[in-house]
Amino acid sequence: MVFPAFLNAQENTYKQLDAVKFQELVKSGKGMILDVRTKSEFDNEHIANSQYLNFYALDFKKKLLMLPKDEEIYLYCTTGYRSEKAAKYLAKNGYTKVYNLEHGILEWNLENLPVIEGEPSAKLMADKVSTELFTQTVSSDTLVLIDFYATWCGPCRKMMPLIDSIRTQYHPAMTVFKVNVDVSKKLIKQEKIIGVPLFRIYRSGELLFEKDGILSRKELEAIIDKLLSTKTP
CB 19 within 8 A of CB 111: yes
The one catalytic residue among 47, 146, 153, 187:
153
Q: Per-residue b/e over 80-105, b at no fewer than 16 CB within 10 Å?
A: bbbbbbbbebbbeeebebbbbbbbbb
How far separated are the first and last CA of the chain, in Å rounded?
74
- Catalytic (active site) residue 77: no
The verdict on whether omega for the bond into residue 120 sits within 30 degrees of 0, i.e. cis, is no
Q: Does the annotation count 153 as an active-site position?
A: yes
Q: How many CB atoms lie within 10 A of CB 122?
A: 7
User: DSSP secondary-structure letter at 156?
Assistant: H
Choosing from 156, 163, 166, 201, the catalytic residue is: 156
Active site residue ranges: 153, 156
